[in-house]
Amino acid sequence: MQIFLDTADVKEIRELASLGLVDGITTNPSLVAKEGRPFPEIVDEIIRIVDGPISLEVVSTDAQGMLAEARDLAKIHANVVVKIPLIGEGMKAVRQLALEGIKTNVTLCFSPSQALLAAKAGAGYISPFVGRLDDISHVGMDLVRQIVTIYRNYGYPTKVLAASLRNPLHFVEAAMAGAHVCTMPPAVLRQLLKHPLTDIGLEKFLADWRKVPKVS
């Protein structure tokens, strides 16, 4: 299971990457806008911190525009994965980018049929948005399970990147479903580490250790 951080916050990325648990980064236009800094500056810093796949999203909605943006983004660094929205024009772009050897992450996936078509087009990753489906009273994780099954049935090499994860249970369920990657906000990665019994146990061990007589 690979862990990606879903953020454009360089300070958070630096801090959490130091744990050695971050395999890659995903961003989207909203996350970049939140930072209030120029996109190239942010990308340059992220690439220096994380040596793994960095998803950067196009903002064109026609295939030609997406291809032009994707080629420019791919030139930045070999780790760049171009995020393409799951629309018809996006599928055209993904097919062409696969032929050119440019890696893609197909985003905004909300149904298993969309995911199958993205795999047929040659997507490197598919990003089912779990939390956003939960938000409208659908079980988002069912989508991850369906995609994993469909891709296994046909041997598609497209990796399942569980996205829009909002809590540790999402992470565990995505792992049980067989997602290749989970991307999550920094706060969720911190939550994954925490357990009150770990803290209580450590406190007790350290308190007891202080009672051990010193060598005189």
Binding footprint of ligand G3P on the chain (CB under 6 A)? 6, 26, 28, 129, 131-132, 163-164, 183
How far apart are CB 184 and ligand G3P at their closest, in Å?
Answer: 8
The answer to whether 26 touches 163, Cβ cutoff 8 Å, is yes
How far apart are CB 108 and ligand G3P at their closest, in Å?
Answer: 8
From residue 206, alpha-carbon distances to 147, 196, 202, 214, 216 in Å are 46, 16, 6, 15, 21
How far apart are CB 180 and ligand G3P at their closest, in Å?
Answer: 15
Q: Is 83 a catalytic residue?
A: yes
Q: Which of residues 55 and 96 has its CB atom nearest to ligand G3P in the complex?
A: 55
* Identity of the amino acid at 55: S
Which of 34, 83, 120, 214 is labelled catalytic?
83
Q: Which of residues 96 and 127 has its CB atom nearest to ligand G3P in the complex?
A: 127
For tokens 């998803």, the residue is 55
Helix (H, G, I), strand (E, B) or coil at 127: strand
DSSP-assigned states of every residue in 180-198: SEEEE-HHHHHHHH--HHH
**Six-digit token string for 125:** 């990753």
Dmax of the chain from CA atoms? 78
Q: Which of residues 104 and 164 has its CB atom nearest to ligand G3P in the complex?
A: 164
Helices 140-154 and 112-121 pack at an angle, to 10 degrees, of: 40
Q: Which of residues 74 and 182 has its CB atom nearest to ligand G3P in the complex?
A: 182
d(CA 82, CA 216): 64
How far apart are CB 189 and ligand G3P at their closest, in Å?
Answer: 13
Active site (catalytic) residues: 83
